[in-house]
Structure 1
């Protein structure tokens, strides 16, 4: 893995957003009119988005696509990132909501898998279409990671660490890139590579490595003491927790599990964690396999998802004062984009 300094990494990710503004979707050139549509469109959802809490958002997206295309839409709820990637790459699913890294993997397996749309930032543009990859510790242990008035990742070495999945952008790709860049400057770890972070044990960087399989379960690993430190994004756990101290997604921010939190946090009400590192990441796309759907259907989906009607749908873009749960928030909207938006994620492996 290329040793990318943190500042360079952040600049790469944000620059890609600026470069991506105003792009037209690559689906228009890669989808062909002579592809025969299936009887139903299958959407594959990553484990983070497959929970019961998010069924209303999934259903609203399904209904919008059904109305625009005249085709039935079926959800494929997966329990593993690899299943989702394989489903869209093989065409067993024609659509999938992916993170940046899982999208890059799917596109590598099948170049006909391209972004359909991506959710904007609060500005309604790609300029702030970001979420956060965070390194978290349990409340009460944060002093171990103090450095002056802030926090440092120096002391994560030797700890029990939980990632999400090797196919997760914010739950693996970005944090491991950061760790390799940071620790390889030290003589002890000068030869550190991302693959060295996959397993723990004697002589390894971590004493133990766990993979939660979802952001929710990586956080559960932390709160139940299975891990000392965890990689967890902000968006996939936001509906289960409240910010109770500090500034959102900045080092020192403290979050508390809600009293009425659903599974897998139903028995963890009041548990707290602290952010010690936070890195912006490009929003992941709803991707389409253009070899499995006609151009007419692809264009119809882009049109309906980027429409004012969808933008105003409060089951898809959840108002900030709503008690409903979903994975997109108002005043965001869907925007058409193309593969180039995810080049910075791809570059992390070069």
Structure 2
């Protein structure tokens, strides 16, 4: 039975969301063009934090490294010219690579999703300072469940109603399913809460086969190639797939859409010198080159703080509470103790 705090949280969350060999496995790509920084800009950059001759920028693995490099390198080059020092792309093979890279001091700046950011803020000294603004001016996106357009399960799903989540829960034992990454907001946390935890389902036990495909691109390809029955994805990635691989996009059918998720944070390490933080903020808050931003799906960045992703923290804690409530291996006393501890975490966010 939910405690009163959880009931209050559930109502609040509905309002918020309706209105988120490690370092060795990462690819650190110096930008060739950043070696030609203008002397005046280089001098200005050296005046602030000269001990940081260059900056490594972490990029979570939503797509293949080749695709991400194509999209990100022009932006990193523009940033290097602005702050007067090289900016190297740090392309991890999974989300944890960027989290751990920042924690180890190998990454000074990073683009995260909401779930990976709250992990990095908790254990890797990450501090959000900017939020992405979509090309249409909005600051949110959606998680999806997707299937192949010729999958027979569509005979039992009302696509217009988007009730594929109910079908997946009821028929999980007969389905193969793919999350993308356990640190993904839209590819793991959001469907874990709304589709599974709220319905008392443990996906690790429910499906005929469950895999973690890695990136959103990988889950889309797994569905398009009939390798899994159902997979997670999100609205931003589906738009990129439609633009970059229309043949695959034509094979994919969305069967469930989540409430809105806050758009992505950009964070730096808390211990960066203040003068460098100010330079970075100035660049992000004023950068508006559409030719560079459009391939990323954005029109710019708004100022943000750590608290802007408390909705993701609430969702994460809520998923944990429901998991405890539905855990048949826990005694009632153990459940109550764990739920009380989690509710205290919720109270601390309010």
Q: What TM-score, normalized to structure 1?
A: 0.71
Q: Distance in 2 between matches of 1:37 and 1:11?
A: 45
Give the conservation status (yes or no) of the 8 Å contact 1:235–1:327.
Answer: no
Q: Distance in 1 between matches of 2:79 and 2:48?
A: 20
Q: Aligned ranges for residues 253-292 of structure 1 at < 5 Å?
A: 257-259=245-247, 268=248, 270-291=250-271
SS of 2:261 mapped into structure 1? strand
Q: Distance in 1 between matches of 2:143 and 2:9?
A: 16
Q: 2:277 aligns with which of 298, 304, 324?
A: 298
Give the conservation status (yes or no) of the 8 Å contact 1:215–1:232.
Answer: yes
Q: What residue is the counterpart of 1:131 in the other structure? A: 141
Q: Distance in 2 between matches of 1:119 and 1:303?
A: 15
Over the residues paired in the alignment, what is the CA RMSD in angstroms? Answer: 3.0
Q: What residue is the counterpart of 2:341 in the other structure? A: none
The offset of 1:59, in angstroms, is 1.9
2:130 is the alignment partner of 1:120: no
2:167 is the alignment partner of 1:155: yes
Q: 1:257 to 1:4 in 2, by over 3 A?
A: farther
Q: 1:114 to 1:15 in 2, by over 3 A?
A: farther
Q: 1:343 to 1:5 in 2, by over 3 A?
A: closer
Deviations 1:128-187 (A, max 9, x none): 300111111211332222389552422213221110111000000000100245413xxx
Q: 1:312 to 1:147 in 2, by over 3 A?
A: closer
Q: Distance in 2 between matches of 1:177 and 1:34?
A: 44
Greater shift, 168-177 or 86-95, is seen at 86-95
Deviations 1:201-241 (A, max 9, x none): xxx22221111110010112222222211110121242222
Q: 2:292 aligns with which of 311, 315, 318?
A: 315
List gaps (5 residues or longer) in structure 1: 17-32, 185-191, 243-255, 260-267, 319-325
- How many residues end up aligned between the 2 structures? 281
Give the conservation status (yes or no) of the 8 Å contact 1:290–1:298.
Answer: no
The offset of 1:55, in angstroms, is 3.0
Structure with greater helix share of residues: 2
Q: Distance in 1 between matches of 2:240 and 2:82?
A: 30
Q: 1:182 to 1:152 in 2, by over 3 A?
A: farther
SS of 1:71 mapped into structure 2? coil
Q: Distance in 2 between matches of 1:283 and 1:10?
A: 17
Q: What residue is the counterpart of 2:180 in the other structure? A: 164
2:303 is the alignment partner of 1:336: yes
Q: 1:84 to 1:328 in 2, by over 3 A?
A: same
Q: Distance in 2 between matches of 1:269 and 1:339?
A: 35
Q: Aligned ranges for residues 3-152 of structure 1 at < 5 Å?
A: 9-14=13-18, 37-49=51-63, 51-110=65-124, 112-121=125-134, 124=137, 128-141=138-151, 142-146=154-158, 151-152=163-164
Q: Distance in 2 between matches of 1:298 and 1:50?
A: 29
Q: Which has the higher contact order (CA 8 A, sep 6+)?
A: 1
Q: What TM-score, normalized to structure 2?
A: 0.71
The offset of 1:100, in angstroms, is 0.2
2:339 is the alignment partner of 1:327: no
